[in-house]
Amino acid sequence: MAQTALDEIATFLGDRLVRSKPDRDLHGQSETWFPATPPDAVAYPESTEEVARIVGICARHGFPVVPWGAGTSLEGHALAVRGGLCLDTSRMNRVLEIRAEDMQAVVQPGITREALNTELRATGLFFPVDPGANATIGGMAATRASGTTTVRYGTMRDNVMGLEVVLADGRVIRTGSGARKSSSGYDLTGLFVGSEGTLGIITQLTLRLHGQPEAISAATCAFDDFETAVQTVIATIQHGIPMARIEFVDETVAAIFNRMNGTDLPEKPHLMVEFHGSERAVTEDAERFGEIVSEMGGGHFAWATRPEDRNRLWAMRHAAYRTILASRPGSMGLATDICVPISRLAQAVAETRADIESSGIPGPIVGHVGDGNFHALLLIERGNPEELARAKALSRRMAERAIRLGGTITGEHGVGAGKLDLMELEHGPAWQVMATLKRALDPRDILNPGKVVRIET
Amino acid sequence: MAQTALDEIATFLGDRLVRSKPDRDLHGQSETWFPATPPDAVAYPESTEEVARIVGICARHGFPVVPWGAGTSLEGHALAVRGGLCLDTSRMNRVLEIRAEDMQAVVQPGITREALNTELRATGLFFPVDPGANATIGGMAATRASGTTTVRYGTMRDNVMGLEVVLADGRVIRTGSGARKSSSGYDLTGLFVGSEGTLGIITQLTLRLHGQPEAISAATCAFDDFETAVQTVIATIQHGIPMARIEFVDETVAAIFNRMNGTDLPEKPHLMVEFHGSERAVTEDAERFGEIVSEMGGGHFAWATRPEDRNRLWAMRHAAYRTILASRPGSMGLATDICVPISRLAQAVAETRADIESSGIPGPIVGHVGDGNFHALLLIERGNPEELARAKALSRRMAERAIRLGGTITGEHGVGAGKLDLMELEHGPAWQVMATLKRALDPRDILNPGKVVRIET
């Protein structure tokens, strides 16, 4: 079956269908603790038509198709857990159109967020969603990614206006429109964003862009304890101060940054903030934020006024996952990702810290606290199954805690293969509705099988 | 069949199942040109459990269920076009919980937007979405409604965080969570918002609230032609001035306001704007906007600084539909609702105006121009089928124009029964995907049948 499907695909992809071991191995890895599961082959399509043809052939043969972006997902999303064809989108990486007046761009899925913003630089516009990794836009849409600027600009849900999607039977559809809003039927764009390649393969995206702010100010500040840092975030939100970024790192992360990046931060819980707007607005926002921090007893302000200082600050924040991982040589990571109502954030962090401490596993914490979202990065010794089991149990308790506090098991990383076991707990019978939708759109379960939902075929 | 289902329902609803002609007639009407189509009976449930029981019985009997909010929809959404039971949500109209710290409210579907904001007043929070009518929150979610503040606060898509939904088989599910974002599986909240009661009955909503702005400034200004008004909107957006509202009314509407409301507006195209923020920010925004208007050659500024003046301004705007309708006694309305990319807005309005003029049907234009959304309200003489046919043809040409310009046939009113014939033109094969989803979730087509999609059963 596999052989026949692949031979058919090779007739038109030629040497862009690769069956060599190194390429399969490369596409069988993940960023975190998942065991390697190489696909049977890797395809490098260059057009929607090629993707549609590939999927059509796989559909006839009941052969799995697993889309691949930059391979930076954290829950094993792109692992070929049932074998099949890895569909690598790296050759579909162009900006097709920039509609500056409408603040939109039409892109292919394989472009990375950094490459996109480089192309946009001269237009005065930018695309704000910024997960830590330099992920592809297609992958970010598939996992409903977000990042440090979500508190102001939203997630991929808010910034994808329309899609071109190849369905499980090879049909090509377009969702959304160039209008900023629509009430024209079911929100198919929203359904495919976050569906992790299980309902269709994204081959084109229309993105909402934003104007580069006239002025930016950024700062770090430190607190004696994380509860005060969290209370400061809540107060800032309630004062209506429009933050573009408000990030938390705990004292362990501050120490790791000092050791690994040569910074000189007080080894205390920190907030890293940024304001976007007119010169006057940004100044006013920064002043009001400074007042709140003082009232709360925080301090150690370090303003990053020059662009290069700001860039260094956010580059350090974006690299936190890799820096933390490198701080314990020989370790692999399990990245947790819970998100709770902001009023429960202090409790969620406190309980998690206590749990981490008693577990004996290192778990520095960073968080997009304006969204109520935080990550403990659990550092597990490679080849230590006992430590992995302990970390998984810890991660499960975090997810259960998030649900108990009215939140969600994943704020931005997605379900992938890693959080399947928690879906029923979070969603109850609504998880069955997800499975119903999956069966309706992919009756043979060929699109990224084994992710998001469980289907008995 | 109908009789048996209704008798079963009466056993537990008692006199809250009404079969009298006046009540059926009341629920068989719509705000616009659609012929009356009364349901077989009207149910007034008071709890999710009752809704689930009702739907379960209707499912067994294959009997249609049509949810009803305030009856203010404009495309015949709540008409029982195939008979069945009208499920009136007016007795499920409570605020169940206000979570001030998280800026959330949990409400029942039958509460109206004005009643909700009255209850919120003391909290310092408000719910921004404001269609013209005092619609119910459930109805607004079902049609993915928006309004004058969407340019700043988004549509119902952006402001509904979670739902409780009764499915076609009577199961009850919960979607979303109390967290501000989530990547936990398919976005079911987004799927039910805008599904117009065809996929499930909304019985509870978790809403995102916003802080009442510290300061507000509002103004009207006039232009010699609408192209300049539209160019002013585009320039304002591109300057990154954060508008809370930016509304357009044409010279005919200005004249109608003068005649019907006793205002003294120049009878020219107008923009009505509002800014929200800190005192300083609002002043700065208003100044910068004023400069753009002057540069464009607009003027006749009238600032509404007192709350009562602002309230009068927006009450007038919200009542525009009814005021315009009343301006031609004996007429009924056909409310068009196209939305295009902002760069095509001037062209869309110009072509529409020319078409309206040559049609001989009065069609004053109002628009949420910051979103690229505008309405021509076509005034048709009651009982004049020839005029109705001409208005329908005009409306169809508007929708075709919207699609040609990269937009959508409905920015905020929804599809209902009125725009079914245009869905394939806008969505192509994606409309079939909507039907696939409908069949998966409502295989007997009992939930608001005949709306959004066409199902052969």
> Cβ contact (<8 Å) for B341 and A102?
yes
pLDDT in tens, B135-164: 999 999 999 999 999 999 999 999 999 999
Q: Which residue of B has its CA nearest to A214?
A: B240
| Residue A424 lies inside a defined structural domain of this protein | no
Mean pLDDT score, B414-438? 97
Selected residue of B180, B207, B282, B340 to mutate for chain A interface (largest A Cβ count, 10 A): B180
| Residue A54 lies inside a defined structural domain of this protein | yes
> Cβ contact (<8 Å) for B179 and A214?
no
pLDDT in tens, A87-138: 999 999 999 999 999 999 999 999 999 999 999 999 999 999 999 999 999 9
**Residue B279 touches partner A, C-beta closer than 8 Å:** no
| Residue B442 lies inside a defined structural domain of this protein | no
**Residue B128 touches partner A, C-beta closer than 8 Å:** no
pLDDT in tens, B331-383: 999 999 999 999 999 999 999 999 999 999 999 999 999 999 999 999 999 99
Chain A residues with beta carbon closer than 8 angstroms to that of B193: 187
**Which of A150, A176, A211 is the last residue before a domain boundary?**
A211
| B103 & B82 share domain | no
Residues counted in chain A: 457
User: Average pLDDT, whole number, for chain B?
Assistant: 96
CATH number at residue A274: 3.30.70.3450
> Cβ contact (<8 Å) for A371 and B157?
no
Chain B residues with beta carbon closer than 8 angstroms to that of A186: 191, 194-195, 199, 434, 437, 452
Distance to chain B for A434, nearest Cα, Å: 6
| B345 & B282 share domain | no
CATH number at residue A66: 3.30.43.10
Structural domain total, chain B = 4
Q: Which residue of B has its CA nearest to A206?
A: B406
The answer on pLDDT for A1 being more than 80 is no
Question: Cβ contacts of residue A13 below 8 Å, gap of 6+?
Answer: A43, A44, A45, A50, A54
Displacement of CA A282 from its chain's centroid (Å): 28
**Residue B420 touches partner A, C-beta closer than 8 Å:** no
pLDDT in tens, A338-388: 999 999 999 999 999 999 999 999 999 999 999 999 999 999 999 999 999
Which letter does DSSP use for residue B316 in this model?
H
| Residue A439 lies inside a defined structural domain of this protein | no
| Residue B429 lies inside a defined structural domain of this protein | no
The per-residue DSSP string of B284-306 comes to: HHHHHHHHHHHHHT-EEEEEE-S
**Which of B90, B107, B130 is the last residue before a domain boundary?**
B90
Chain B residues with beta carbon closer than 8 angstroms to that of A188: 430, 433-434
CATH number at residue B250: 3.30.70.2190
pLDDT of A238: 84
Helix, strand, coil tally for chain B in percent (to 5)? 40, 20, 35
**Residue B98 touches partner A, C-beta closer than 8 Å:** no
| A163 & A244 share domain | no
| A99 & A207 share domain | yes
| B193 & B219 share domain | no
Question: For residue A153, what is the enclosing H or E element?
Answer: helix A150-153
pLDDT in tens, B40-53: 999 999 999 999 99
pLDDT of A457: 60
Domain that holds residue A233: 215-316
CB contacts < 8 A, A to B, total 269
| B79 & B152 share domain | no
**Residue A193 touches partner B, C-beta closer than 8 Å:** yes
CATH number at residue A387: 3.30.70.2740
Residues 231-260 of chain A with CB under 8 A from chain B are 234, 237-238, 240
Question: Cβ contacts of residue B360 below 8 Å, gap of 6+?
Answer: B390
pLDDT in tens, B71-103: 999 999 999 999 999 999 999 999 999 999 999
The answer on pLDDT for B1 being more than 70 is no
- Rounded (10°) CA dihedral A303, A308, A313, A314: 120
- Nearest-angstrom CA–CA distance, A49 and A315: 37
The answer on pLDDT for B457 being more than 70 is no
> Cβ contact (<8 Å) for B372 and A441?
no
| A400 & A350 share domain | yes
- Nearest-angstrom CA–CA distance, B210 and B168: 33
| Residue B42 lies inside a defined structural domain of this protein | yes
**Looking at the partner chain, which of A211, A240, A434 has a beta carbon nearest the beta carbon of B186?**
A434
> Cβ contact (<8 Å) for A240 and B343?
no
**Which of A154, A177, A211 is the last residue before a domain boundary?**
A211
Closest CA to B431 of B443, B419, B441: B419
| A252 & A290 share domain | yes
| A239 & A257 share domain | yes
Buried b (16+ CB within 10 A) or exposed e, A306-333: eeeebeebbebbbbbbebbbebbeebbb
Task: Place B2 in a pLDDT band, splitting at 50, 70 and 90.
Answer: confident
**Residue A429 touches partner B, C-beta closer than 8 Å:** yes
> Cβ contact (<8 Å) for B191 and A195?
no
Residue A97: strand, helix, or coil: strand
The answer on pLDDT for A141 being more than 80 is yes
| A124 & A231 share domain | no
The per-residue DSSP string of A258-318 comes to: HHHH-----SS-EEEEEEEE-HHHHHHHHHHHHHHHHHHT-EEEEEE-SHHHHHHHHHHHH
Distance to chain A for B109, nearest Cα, Å: 19
| Residue B73 lies inside a defined structural domain of this protein | yes
Task: Place B240 in a pLDDT band, splitting at 50, 70 and 90.
Answer: confident
Selected residue of A96, A129, A183 to mutate for chain B interface (largest B Cβ count, 10 A): A183
| A202 & A220 share domain | no
| A206 & A104 share domain | yes
CATH number at residue A136: 3.30.465.10
> Cβ contact (<8 Å) for B183 and A213?
no
Between strands B270-277 and B85-88, the pairing is unpaired
- Rounded (10°) CA dihedral B344, B350, B354, B356: 80
| Residue B226 lies inside a defined structural domain of this protein | yes
pLDDT in tens, A385-444: 999 999 999 999 999 999 999 999 999 999 999 999 999 999 999 999 999 999 999 999
Mean pLDDT score, A17-42? 94
**Residue B157 touches partner A, C-beta closer than 8 Å:** yes
pLDDT of B3: 87
**Residue B106 touches partner A, C-beta closer than 8 Å:** no
Q: Which residue of B has its CA nearest to A173?
A: B430
**Looking at the partner chain, which of A102, A188, A340 has a beta carbon nearest the beta carbon of B342?**
A102
**Residue B139 touches partner A, C-beta closer than 8 Å:** no
**Residue B215 touches partner A, C-beta closer than 8 Å:** no
Query: A325-332 long-range contacts, Cβ below 8 Å, gap at least 24?
Result: A325/A377, A325/A379, A326/A260, A327/A256, A327/A259, A327/A260, A327/A379, A328/A362, A328/A379, A330/A381, A330/A382, A331/A379, A331/A380, A331/A381, A331/A382, A332/A32, A332/A33, A332/A379, A332/A380, A332/A382
Q: Which residue of B has its CA nearest to A406?
A: B178
Mean pLDDT score, A73-79? 94
**Residue B423 touches partner A, C-beta closer than 8 Å:** yes
Mean pLDDT score, B117-126? 97
User: Average pLDDT, whole number, for chain A?
Assistant: 96
**Residue B206 touches partner A, C-beta closer than 8 Å:** no
**Residue A187 touches partner B, C-beta closer than 8 Å:** yes
**Residue A36 touches partner B, C-beta closer than 8 Å:** no
